[in-house]
Structure 1
Amino acid sequence: MPNTVLFQRTELARPLASLNDAAALLKQHYGLEGSIKELGSQQDRNFRIETEAGRFVLKIARVEYATLELEAQNAAMRHLAKSEYPWKTPQPVCALTGEEVLPVTLGDEQYNARVLTYLDGLPLSSRNYFSPTTMHAIGTLSAQVALALSNFEHAGLERDLQWDLRRAGPVALHLLSSVNEQKRRDDVAKAMVLSMRYINPLMDDLRVQAVHHDLTDDNIVGELDAEGRLVPNGVIDFGDLISGWLIGDLAVTCSSLLHHTDGNVFAILPAIQAFHAVFPLNEAEIKALWPLVVARAGVLVASSEQQLQIDPDNDYVSNNLEHEREIFTLATSVPFSVMEVAILSALGHQWPKEHPVLGRLLPDIAPESINLTDLSTTSPDLEEDNWADPQIDWKLLAKAASDTGSASTRYGEHRLSYTRLLSPRPPANFPLHIDACLPAAAQAVVPFDCLLKRTNQHFILVGADLALHIHGLECQLDDGTELKAGDALGRIAGAEGSVGGLRLQLCRDLDLMPPLFARPDHAFAWQRICPSPAALFGVDLDAAPVQTDIALKRRQRHFASPQKHYYANPPQIERGYREHLFDTTGRAYLDMVNNVATVGHGHPRLAMAAKKQWSLLNTNSRFHYQAVADFSEQLASLAPEGLDTVFLVNSGSEAVDLAIRLAWAASGKRNIVSLLEAYHGWTMASDAVSTSIADNPRALETRPSWVHPVTAPNTYRGEYRGPESTDAYVAAVERALVAMDERGEGLAGFIAESVFGNAGGILLPPGYLQAVYAMVRARGGICIADEVQVGYGRLGHYFWGFEEQGVVPDIITIAKGMGNGQPLGAVITSRAVAEAFEQDGYFFSSSGGSPVSCVIGMTVLEIMRDENLMENAREVGDFLKGKLEDLANQHPLVGVVHGMGLYLGLEFVRDRDSREPATHETAAICERLQDLGIIMQPTGDHLNVLKIKPPLCLDYESANFFVAMLDKVLSEGW
């Protein structure tokens, strides 16, 4: 039982010490002078002084904390300094008298003073969000500190301390009177009682040793790694050092991490895994961990509430109170039973795959008569956006029951109907229950020995180690009735001859009212607590588990490795709708990078057009059919006057390849001038003029002799900067052309994206193409505008990118979004250029001009017209760019916003003056955005630009969500 000293210590205010007191004390007793700043603390006074000799911390403690306790803290810091680990700790500094703990008098009060070296670094609390990498690093450090202290002994470790988790229950209950809000007081009391109920039987097996007991985000300092993530490298504040439970030390750390998880409690599991890997925990410690996390959270809240009553001017406590309340809310948001399973699973524990042994609930309904619904991401019954209908599950369930009268949903099937668009968190869409449509009046019997318990909305059959929650069954039995397996239970509600609804859910935690759904990333734990009720029907009702890793391994086994995929651990995307994508778990992502899907994903008009044409004919363009004439005519009408001849191909790479061959044929020469940092494709010719080292690290050293790259007109980070740089960049092209002239070589042509897309949507300097085109044509060369990425209405203000420069090229290449994903590209040129190619023979592309490709291409243009998508690209794109420019004013990492319409680039730099590319940070930001439900990728030679090129149907709400999530990442960390 805690003694009086313990409770007295909970009521202590900070020492009465001012900055002047601290300055005088430091000068008189330590010979230190300099600028002084007070640091926060709950019951001490801490001051940092900056001197010519370095920085130090003065700690002034109340005498109620004995000198022996302070000496133990100093000894522990010296002990840890000798450890093999790379992190650092402060070290004691002796007073001029040689004392490490110095008795001092301030006013009429006696205190104990110490000076420690100051540990440089950023406190982890300076970042709101911790990545799994950071969580793991914190867990590793926590374990290393505990391991290093495991052989440390000192008489000052035996202390009466309110933070000692061995005394958490009595301390919290003692402090509860300070919690003013009744509900919070009741919640803390309930949580503490429940925690102690779990912990008490385990106490004898919880190891005791020297522990820091305050390894929190405030007391771990770190530095930024290459990706801009904060990783720990030092430990401070040994004020809570005690001889206590080893697992209590980890519980303290875990509780402090909770408000860095963005509301996902399971996000701390990497820290627990890392601790266990360094300092293995025993079974009792693993089971006690979460109850101790809750206990710590309860003590934090109660203690801070009391401290503010004692010391209302303590800004440190008042500023932390909201975080501590959040910690308590999160700690108590997940049942102990579920977190125990989650922790055990994270540490490698395996449970046998088994269904509970149960009798049949409805013996008169034949198992084979029960049809199953498909509510998954790939369900053929979910069309367009009918998955958003709140009643779609029951509608499809009723449809499935229409022939036999019996149907059921699948347990564990990620329901697309529960997805949420524009959500930073995965939806709770993993069903821990089944819904069924069954013949009304069908008789039900008790499936296992149990006690019947009634609630307002349903009843529960409570067995020895399993509870069955039932909705939709008429039952006349009284609350508290004891039942045996096989006893009559009731009947399906509804008039005989009709169909009734039934909901069943099992739960191994008899005190828990379980949720109907779990998040996909939490389902592994909840499945153990709420197993499948399939045995009640005598039929397999379980959905096949989603195993994206298996599909990824198969891809890697047979799909050539140069064909990369986005993300290290990519979601398996199987469905799309407008600007949204859905993975196999039903998670919705906002697609901000897929410029292939011009009119959006899953467009019904495209699906119908493709289906109709496939049912009629698909062949190659050497046959005569209407679609190829219609589509060629339509494309020619979109081009400037004089460009009236169309080649249809399979891809952008093929289009560029053909354009280069056309330039060779029309000019009779071979040399092509291209731009550095550009990407044009993967065929031999298109790759030859591609110089982006992000796509090909050897690009600059492997160009054929006929390719002549010139300085990229990158007005932000190029050799010449700003809109006034036009003449300098034009001169760079002129030098290359003059050198070619002097060698007596002819020029075939010049190729460039009309907007510098691969570099991040950078607009070319004013008049650049006008000047370059004139020089090229003066030498008989052909001007090629690569519009594969930036053209076709994407810029909003212009249909073609070259219009922004006020020029007309000789050849236009297009692809990407013109087929909305169908293999389709085109080259538009003049009749003269096209006919020059005939000297080399005829041209043929198998699917480029097929009936299906032509019909899809025509339908895309019709949708763009009917849905005003170019206008939408202009209006929403301008809105989005303005919002991104606002972000640039708030976050120094943002260097500049490039582009126009819905082809934008957000460039990240470590320093706005040097413009050092923030390459690693950009990759990490993209990973964090994926966690928040946004598909985004980097581009540019330095991979430090977000390439923002979503479907043209992007709406204002989606644009706002993207900006909000990006702001969240830049504000909270990644």
Structure 2
Amino acid sequence: MPLATLIHRASLPSPQVSMEQALALLEGHYGLSGRLQALGSQQDLNYRVDSDQGPFVLKICRGDYSALELQAQHAGLRHLAGHPEVQVPRVIPANNGADLLTLDVGGQSVHVRLLDFIEGQSLTHLDHLPGSVVAGFGRLCGEMAMALANFDHPGLERTLQWDARHANALIAHLLPIIKDDRQRALIADVAERAERHLQPLVDKLPVQAIHMDITDDNVVWQRDSQRQWQMRGVIDFGDLVRTWRITDLSVTCAALLHHAGGDPFYILPAVQAYHRVNPLQPAELRALWPLIVARAAVLVLSGEQQVSIDPGNEYSRDNLTHEWEIFRVATSVPLALMEAAILAAVGQGLPGIDSEGFAPLLPGLVGREFALIDLGVLSPHFDAGNWEQAGIDQRLLAEAAATHGLAASRYGQYRLSRTRPDSAIEPDTFPLHVELQVPHGSAVESPFAGVVHQPAPNLLQLDGPQLSVRLWGVTPSLHTGAALVKGQVLGSVSGPLVVQLCRGTSFDAPLFCSPSRAAAWQALCPSPAALLGLACDAQDELDSATLLARRDASFARTQKHYYLDPPRIERGWRNHLIDMQGRSYLDMLNNVAVLGHGHPRMAAVASRQWSLLNTNSRFNYAAIAEFSERLLKLSPDSMDRVFLVNSGSEANDLAIRLAWAYSGGRDMLSVLEAYHGWTVGADAVSTSIADNPKALSSRPDWVHPVTAPNTYRGEFRGAGSAPDYVRSVEHNLAKIAGQNRQLAGFICEPVYGNAGGISLPPGYLQQVYGLVRAQGGVCIADEVQVGYGRMGNFFWGFEEQGVVPDIITMAKGMGNGQPLGAVITRREIAEALEAEGYFFSSAGGSPVSCQIGMAVLDVMEEEKLWENAQVVGGYFKQRLEGLIDSHPLVGAVHGSGFYLGVELIRNRETLEPATEETTALCDRLRELGIFMQPTGDYLNILKIKPPMVTSRQSVDFFVDMLAKVLAEGL
């Protein structure tokens, strides 16, 4: 087909066939009737047909289309029927046995076909697709190409507007459709650069039959029972053609870019998946990105043209927004960068650089020793957040030079100073350069022959045949445009010296890049160590996957970790955790570190006490008395005795033993869906099936679970439900009494922590405590998670219920990460244990733990963290509650202060838990720089319990990102 026909075809509107006419075609030629539903298409008419014989697709296209091309599509579908890995629709013959009908409808010639309808949906409407889906597109594309490799048909030899071989001609023809001069010039420029990059490769690109439209529009998906997307099949073979094989993947990747959130590296899982099933040749890998760029230009031009000639086509108009986003992302990075990224993604790379012939850049300093300054995440130079100070890296280098004479940074060492708290964007922490402090006036010489330029103030650039070196802090000795031989003087150092080496001049390299782009940029901007004669490259750090494998090989498997592929976290500051690449994650689940991470007071107090003494509590030292006194001042007046232990589990276990000793009984009441710890005793009274799937079937006979007083999804709802839930307690107490057994006590979190901080119904604990005490039992308040000021309005959770327990257990935030727990009670209960023997916890109440415990209390008071929990926590809950009206998945917001729970549901009537969606949401939040995990028996609640230093800025970031993910669709 000649180019003129191609251009004519690209300008055709869709056929004008009404739904009534379509129904008549369907009944007259296929003997079917039913309901029609219009499906989107740019130049065809497609209808879903719901009939008694099943669902079908009625396809109507203009008679201008070649019947031979349509027959090629049908032949391709029949060919693919023999490849079960690629699911495609069947062609349904008409009453006369023909696969294709050419008819006159309302004076216009049309081709009519009927195909199977594949149940499912396209993913075009989703803003974000998970990496597994992106990889799925790539794998399907590779499998389709393999299945079509030996398929041929005369109808494949055609000129098609979407064929990458004709992109330049089509772009040149359609450019006038763009009225904005700058926009038109941009499209022309990027298309010309893509074509220039592609031309040397075209003769090496394999040719075969390809689908050429495996996009988010034309692949049908369905969610499985775990809410994971599963591919159902491929539709629309209208672009089936014989052309470059790599075109197929370029079309797929281009379509994915409008889901990429602006990141072109988003397509790499698709490239990797294609390459695994259908290995690409080097020329194809290098051609892929310029083909994507050309495709993006064709998309916007064709889309603008189609809207101009067919303004009523809603499908084309909606697609145009996506097409412009594809173009924006495709043109946001240099061609060379994406080529390097694609090669690196499949384990290949650019040719090595021969550095043997370099002359030294700083000849006068050859052989001199440099102080190499550690600016990485674990650097001892960084403390108490000082890396947030402007210019900290340069100051450290200058201080080192003042002491040692010469100082340098390390190429490729992730910089802590460039971390970005409360940001969804991966920070640019990877340096593609070396910074040096050398004497002013030091001579700088050309390491290779080239031409000198000054592209920007304070920037001197030497461009050689293959390489360029960029220098900041050098006063040039030659004019711009001067040609230099190797070893000729370029200039002299006049300030802090920055050195960057690049492959050529076809791109503008940054000084820093993000970790995910480091491999690609490193290929384009390799280390300048050879120019400097300096071993300044960063040492390889242990990557997360290797570290995790080592952990799994030695650390008991029952001790779980967050996420399947967790980042390596080695540093924290306030309410953020920082990985080894310098990315900060907002910590929304760490109720141990109440003061936040890296608090200097904790480090100082621990260091001081360790330097003096750390021993067990049988020795006589002041800290244990002082800390115990302070804990009692925070407790109800009736309490006068403290036990110090190491954890919440140990505290609850001891509380149960105290209840046994004081009451003389063994039987304990506990609340369903609760968690109290992992010691034998604490686990016995824990009933959460999220923590132990066998919890309800493995309780010992001395444990009597009572109905969970869950006012949101429990058997009884609302604030007035206390009497209904108390009946379960009465029933169990009557059962114990009827067996002539002595009740030991009742253990309960005063705020329902494991279920996301749900308040108990008003009056519940008052009634239950009265019933328990009347039967000789003691009442234990498990404050391990919800106490110590975290709830904001109350220091202890039991204050909300207006009760005083007999025993308080506490841990978690008491030590801000130091193992520290406490049991607080009355003297007569504490001393009842002596009848059974002495109690001793080796490290419980050690001098270090006590000093840290007091320091935590001091800092909480000085920094007004209880007030922060109340004020910022109150704001937090308001913002979360604002999501309920706009996001149906959000059922309720529980809790107060910095102990909150967002319960996710699929149905607001049935309260069906959105378990899988909650998991997916937590994984997506991690990608956006937030650590969050699910809780509750159905794992459908976001358990929000951040450090109590959390700010309004962090709250806004969290809620904004949560809203973003909810809007993306889960």
Tell me, what secondary structure is at the counterpart of 1:843? Answer: coil
Counterpart of 2:527, as a letter, is: S
1:712 is aligned to 708
Equivalent position SS for 2:799: helix
Cα drift, residue 119 of structure 1: 2.3
Matches within 5 A, 1:613-762: 613-762=609-758
User: 1:771-810: CA deviations, max 9, x gaps?
Assistant: 2111111111111110000111111111111111221110
CA contact (8 A) 2:465 2:504 kept: no
Give the partner amino acid of 1:53.
Q
How far does residue 31 in structure 1 lie from its aligned partner after superposition? 4.0
Residue 538, structure 1, aligned to residue 538, structure 2: no
Deviation at 1:238, TM superposition (A): 1.5
Is the alpha carbon distance of 1:249 and 1:180 closer, same or farther for their aligned partners in structure 2, counting shifts above 3 Å? same
Q: Distance in 2 between matches of 1:443 and 1:366?
A: 12
Alpha-carbon contact 2:412-2:537 (below 8 Å) kept? yes
Choose which of 503, 520, 523 in structure 1 pairs with 2:518.
523
TM-score normalized by the length of structure 1: 0.96
Which segment is superposed worse, 259-268 or 525-534? 259-268
1:701: Cα distance to partner?
A: 3.3
Relative to structure 1, is the Cα distance of residues 894 and 259 closer, same or farther in structure 2, using a 3 angstrom cutoff? same
Alignment of 1:13-162 (within 5 A): 13-85=13-85, 88-162=87-161
Give the Cα–Cα distance (whole angstroms) in 1 for the partners of residues 225 and 436 of structure 2.
53
Q: Contact 2:463 / 2:504 at 8 angstroms: preserved in 1? A: no
Q: CA deviation at 1:687?
A: 1.9
Deviations 1:403-428 (A, max 9, x none): 13321111111111111111112101
User: Are the aligned partners of 2:360 and 2:366 in contact in 1 as well (CA < 8 Å)?
Assistant: no
Q: What is the aligned-residue identity percentage?
A: 54
Is the contact made by 1:39 and 1:47 (CA closer than 8 Å) also made in structure 2? yes
Give the corresponding residue for 1:221: 220
SS of 1:92 mapped into structure 2: coil
After superposition, residues 378-527 of structure 1 pair within 5 angstroms as 378-457=378-457, 458-493=459-494, 500-527=495-522
Tell me the secondary structure at the aligned position of residue 537 of structure 2.
Answer: coil
For 1:491, the aligned partner's letter is S
Structure 1 residue 483: deviation in Å?
Answer: 2.1
- Spell out, residue by residue over 1:469-526, the C-alpha distance to the aligned partner (whole angstroms, 9 max, x if none): 1111111223333322222221101xxxxxx211111111432221111110111121
After TM superposition, give the deviation of residue 704 of structure 1 in Å. 3.0
User: Mean Cα displacement is larger for which, 567-576 or 539-548?
Assistant: 539-548
Which position in structure 2 is the counterpart of 1:245? Answer: 244
Residue 191 of structure 2 aligns with an amino acid whose one-letter code is M
Cα distance in 2 for residues equivalent to 1:226 and 1:542: 49
Q: What is the CA distance between 1:350 and its match in structure 2?
A: 6.2
* Candidates 767, 774, 796, aligned match of 2:770: 774
Give per-residue Cα distances to partners, 1:321-354, cap 9 Å, x unaligned. 1211111121122322222222222223367988
Partner of 1:927: 923
Distance 2:243 2:850 in 1: 75
Q: CA deviation at 1:306?
A: 1.9
Superposed CA offset, 1:86-133 (max 9, x none): x53233333444443323334443222323332221112132211111
**Structure 2 partner of 1:496:** none
Q: Distance in 1 between matches of 2:637 and 2:252?
A: 70
Whether contact under 8 Å (1:229, 1:973) holds in the other structure is no
Cα separation, 2, equivalents of 1:617 and 1:390: 39
SS in 2 for 1:375: coil
Does the 8 Å contact 1:473/1:492 carry over to 2? yes
**Equivalent AA in structure 2 for residue 8 of structure 1:** H
8 Å CA contact 1:364–1:442 kept in 2: the answer is yes
Superposition pairs for residues 265-414 of structure 1, below 5 Å? 265-349=264-348, 356-357=355-356, 358-414=358-414
**8 Å Cα contact 1:134/1:229 also seen in 2:** no
Offset at 1:433?
0.7
> Is the 1:367–1:537 Cα contact (8 Å) retained in structure 2?
no
Aligned residue for 1:177, secondary structure, equals helix
Q: Secondary structure at the match of 2:499?
A: strand
User: Aligned pair in 2 of structure 1 residues 503, 967: CA closer, same or farther (>3 Å)?
Assistant: same
**What's the offset of the Cα at 1:956?**
1.5
| Matching residue of 1:943 | 939
Tell me, in whole angstroms, the C-alpha distance in 1 between the residues paired with 2:233 and 2:909. 31
Which deviates the most, 40-49 or 160-169? 40-49
Q: Secondary structure at the match of 1:891?
A: coil
**Unaligned ranges ≥5, structure 2:** none
**1:403 match: secondary structure:** helix
For the 8 Å contact 1:337–1:509, the answer to whether it is kept is no
Instruction: Tell me how far 1:138 sits from its aligned partner.
Output: 1.5
Q: Secondary structure, in 3 states, of the residue corresponding to 1:472?
A: strand
SS at match of 2:364: coil
Deviation at 1:576, TM superposition (A): 1.6
Contact 1:435 1:504 in 2 (8 A): yes
Deviation track 1:695-723 (CA, whole Å, cap 9, x = no partner) reads: 22333333333222233223333344443
Structure 2 counterpart of 1:589: 585
**8 A contact 1:355–1:531 mirrored in 2:** no
Question: Could you tell me how far apart the structure 2 residues matched to 1:701 and 1:25 are?
Answer: 63
1:755-834 to structure 2, matched below 5 A, reads 755-834=751-830
Would the alpha carbon gap of residues 635 and 252 (structure 1) be closer, same or farther in structure 2, given more than 3 Å must change? same
- Measure, in 1, the Cα distance between the counterparts of 2:656 and 2:354: 65
For the residue of structure 1 that corresponds to 2:399, the secondary structure is helix
Identify the range of structure 1 (405-414 vs 378-387) with the bigger mean alpha-carbon deviation: 378-387
State the number of aligned residues: 967
Report SS of the residue matched to 1:889: coil
The worse-fitting range, judged by mean Cα deviation, of 240-249 and 691-700 is 691-700
Query: What is the distance in 2 between the residues matched to 1:765 and 1:755?
Result: 10
| Paired amino acid for 2:688 | S
Deviation at 1:651, TM superposition (A): 1.2
Q: Is the 8 Å Cα contact of residues 450 and 463 (structure 1) preserved in structure 2?
A: yes
Q: Distance in 2 between matches of 1:301 and 1:973?
A: 26
Alignment partners' CA distance in 1, 2:260 and 2:492? 46
For the residues of structure 2 that align with 1:877 and 1:66, how far apart are their CA atoms?
A: 67
Secondary structure (helix, strand or coil) at the match of 2:883 reads: helix
Worse overlay, 354-363 or 317-326 = 354-363
One-letter identity of the residue aligned with 2:309: I
2:169 match: 170
- The 1-side partners of 2:901 and 2:698 are apart by 28
Looking at structure 2, the residues matched to 743 and 215 of structure 1 have their Cα atoms a distance apart, in angstroms, of 70
| Contact 1:227-1:924 within 8 A present in 2 as well | no
Secondary structure at the counterpart of residue 160 of structure 2:
coil
Query: Is the deviation greater in 178-187 or in 792-801?
Result: 178-187
Kept after mapping to 2: 8 A contact 1:593/1:936: yes
Match of 2:831 in 1: 835
How well do the aligned residues superpose, as a CA RMSD in angstroms? 2.1
Shift of 1:355: 7.8
Partner AA of 2:484 in structure 1: L
Name the aligned partner's letter for residue 540 of structure 2. P
Task: Answer with 634-643 or 670-679: which moved more.
Answer: 670-679
Shift of 1:947: 0.9
1:598 to 588, 594, 598: 594
Between the aligned partners of 1:435 and 1:971, the Cα distance in structure 2 is: 43
Residue 463 of structure 1 and its aligned partner are, at CA, apart by 2.2
Cα gap change, 1:582/1:511 in structure 2, threshold over 3 Å: closer, same or farther?
same
